[in-house]
Amino acid sequence: MNLTPNQEKFLNCLTAVDRNSIWGLAIHKVLGDMSEERFHNLVSQLKSQERDNPQVMREILSDGCYQTLLEL
C-alpha cells in the first residue's frame, strides 16, 4: 500500500483499538483484510462518525489515535 506517514501512523495505532465495541470489531475486520481502498473507506467512515460524536470516537480510538485521525 502507498500510504503517507500520517496514514501509516494511524494504521499502526488502529491495531491497538479494543475489539469490544462495534467500531472496534469493524476496524479489526478491515485490518484483517487490508487494502488501500478499504483503508481510505475506513478513514472516511471514522471521520464521519467523529463529526457526529467526537467524544465516543475519542474513547474508541484513544487520544493519540484520535488526534492522528483529525490530521488525515
Element (H, E) at 56: helix 54-61
* pLDDT score of 14: 96
- pTM for the predicted model, two decimal places: 0.90
* pLDDT score of 34: 92
Taking a C-beta distance cutoff of 8 angstroms, is the pair 1, 36 a contact?
yes
Distance, in Å, from the CA atom of 29 to the CA atom of 41, rounded to the nearest integer, reads: 13
**Overall average pLDDT of the 37-55 stretch:** 96
User: Residue 7 — φ and ψ, nearest 5°?
Assistant: -65, -40
First to last CA, the chain: 16
Amino acid identity, residue 26? Answer: A
Q: Would the pLDDT of 1 be above 90?
A: no
Q: Would the pLDDT of 42 be above 90?
A: yes
